[in-house]
């Protein structure tokens, strides 16, 4: 089967399409024929070596997937061969014609494979972070980096919980943030003042998705480091005593995959696909993601 792989860490040029044996599912796993695979910021960080989940080289890439189940591992009863599912590739090997998936859910009926492929990591991560911040009805939440995959997801899930959300993105994304249900502000100089103009007493909690070095500003707005969670600023989390949310340590929020259907089918959740690329153009897809201004998600289309 065709799969995207790298055998050394580096720029997008280290990605190659190779021929690999098809994987076989173990207990609890299903194998899916991958129709679409999402690209998120973690993919290029793993490829560049900036981030490691402990996998060696060569490494197949890609975690978010959507496709059709074609083989069941021992003990699997929740899905059947032929079902449409979305989930997270177990070995981070989702940019491939087939992959193994433990954490999965049926694709909501109104979604195609491309839309579903952008969702799993964003749903898991945003749900975990909102739970850690205790976001619920009546909370006021500030999201720094509200227009990317995880940010767009966090905004809408928080609004669905009944929270008031203020989100920061570039000026070009102000209308987009309003569509998601957030009150928009523009990141950069004056961001704190813009938030205070909307919420003079500050916010209850703040989520840093962008990792853009603004934790002191978020602490100022939320009143205390314990009211702030970052998903991307490891250095700042140590320096300012802010919790860095890490699914491997904190526990994952995979239950969000099975729960999102109702919000999607009632028109209360939508994660736009900014661009699609064929598998052969994965290096270009990584370049676009790495540039840092994707609205929603980028998705590879395999078939």
Ligand X SMILES: NC(=O)c1ccc[n+]([C@@H]2O[C@H](COP(=O)([O-])OP(=O)(O)OC[C@H]3O[C@@H](n4cnc5c(N)ncnc54)[C@H](OP(=O)(O)O)[C@@H]3O)[C@@H](O)[C@H]2O)c1
Q: Which residues bind ligand X (CB under 6 A)?
A: 40-42, 45, 121, 125, 144-145, 147-151, 168-170, 173, 187, 209-212, 231-232, 245-247, 289, 292-295
Q: Which is nearer to ligand X, 67 or 145 (CB)?
A: 145
Token digits for 17? 């399409």
Q: Give buried/exposed letters for 12-35 (b at 16+ CB in 10 A, else e).
A: bebbeeeeeeebebeebbbbbbbb
Q: Which is nearer to ligand X, 25 or 127 (CB)?
A: 127
Q: Is the separation of the CB atoms in 185 and 198 below 8 Å?
A: yes
Residue with tokens 């090997």: 93
- Is 156 exposed, middle or buried, given 0-12, 13-18 or 19+ CB atoms closer than 10 A? buried
Q: No. of H helices and E strands in the chain?
A: 11, 15
Least distance (Å) between residue 43 CB and ligand X = 8
Phi, psi of 244 (to 5 degrees): -95, 115
Least distance (Å) between residue 209 CB and ligand X = 5
3-state secondary structure of 96: strand
Residue with tokens 């290029």: 44
Residue nearest to ligand X (CB): 148
Q: Which is nearer to ligand X, 25 or 145 (CB)?
A: 145
Q: Which is nearer to ligand X, 69 or 130 (CB)?
A: 130
Least distance (Å) between residue 149 CB and ligand X = 4
**CA–CA gap between residue 13 and residue 6 (Å, rounded):** 9
Q: Which is nearer to ligand X, 36 or 209 (CB)?
A: 209
Q: Which is nearer to ligand X, 72 or 150 (CB)?
A: 150
Least distance (Å) between residue 44 CB and ligand X = 9
Q: Which is nearer to ligand X, 98 or 128 (CB)?
A: 128
Least distance (Å) between residue 15 CB and ligand X = 17
**CA–CA gap between residue 22 and residue 31 (Å, rounded):** 9
Q: Which is nearer to ligand X, 64 or 204 (CB)?
A: 64
**CA–CA gap between residue 38 and residue 62 (Å, rounded):** 7
Q: How far is CA 183 from CA 63, 139, 168, 206, 253, in A?
A: 31, 14, 9, 14, 26
Least distance (Å) between residue 71 CB and ligand X = 28
Token digits for 259? 């729960």
Least distance (Å) between residue 39 CB and ligand X = 8
Between helices 120-133 and 255-265, what is the axis angle to 10°?
100
Token digits for 279? 């598998």
Least distance (Å) between residue 133 CB and ligand X = 13
């Amino acid at each position: 089967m065709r799969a995207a792989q790298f055998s050394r860490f580096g720029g997008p040029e280290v990605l190659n399409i190779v021929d690999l044996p098809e994987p076989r599912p173990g207990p609890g796993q299903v194998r899916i024929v991958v129709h679409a695979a999402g690209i998120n910021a973690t993919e290029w960080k793993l490829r560049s070596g900036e981030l490691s989940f402990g996998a060696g080289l060569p490494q197949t890439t890609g975690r978010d997937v959507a496709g059709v189940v074609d083989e069941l591992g021992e003990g699997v009863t929740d899905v059947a061969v032929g079902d449409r599912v979305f989930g997270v590739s177990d070995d981070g090997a989702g940019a491939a014609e087939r992959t193994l998936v433990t954490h999965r859910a049926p694709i909501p009926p109104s979604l195609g494979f491309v839309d579903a492929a952008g969702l799993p990591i964003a749903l898991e991560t945003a749900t975990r972070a909102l739970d850690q911040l205790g976001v619920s009805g009546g909370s006021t939440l500030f999201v720094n980096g509200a227009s990317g995959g995880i940010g767009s997801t966090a905004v809408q899930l928080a609004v669905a919980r009944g929270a008031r959300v203020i989100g920061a993105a570039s000026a070009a994304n102000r209308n987009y943030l309003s569509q998601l249900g957030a009150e928009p502000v523009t990141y950069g100089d004056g961001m704190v003042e813009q938030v205070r103009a909307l919420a003079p007493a500050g916010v209850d909690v703040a989520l840093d998705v962008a990792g853009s070095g603004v934790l002191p500003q978020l602490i100022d707005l939320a009143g205390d480091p314990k009211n702030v969670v970052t998903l991307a600023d490891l250095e700042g989390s140590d320096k300012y005593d802010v919790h860095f949310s890490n699914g491997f340590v904190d526990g994952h929020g995979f239950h969000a995959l099975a729960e999102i259907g109702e919000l999607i089918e009632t028109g209360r959740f939508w994660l736009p696909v900014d661009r699609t690329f064929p598998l052969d153009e994965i290096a270009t897809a990584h370049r676009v993601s790495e540039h840092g201004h994707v609205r929603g998600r980028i998705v590879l289309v395999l078939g």
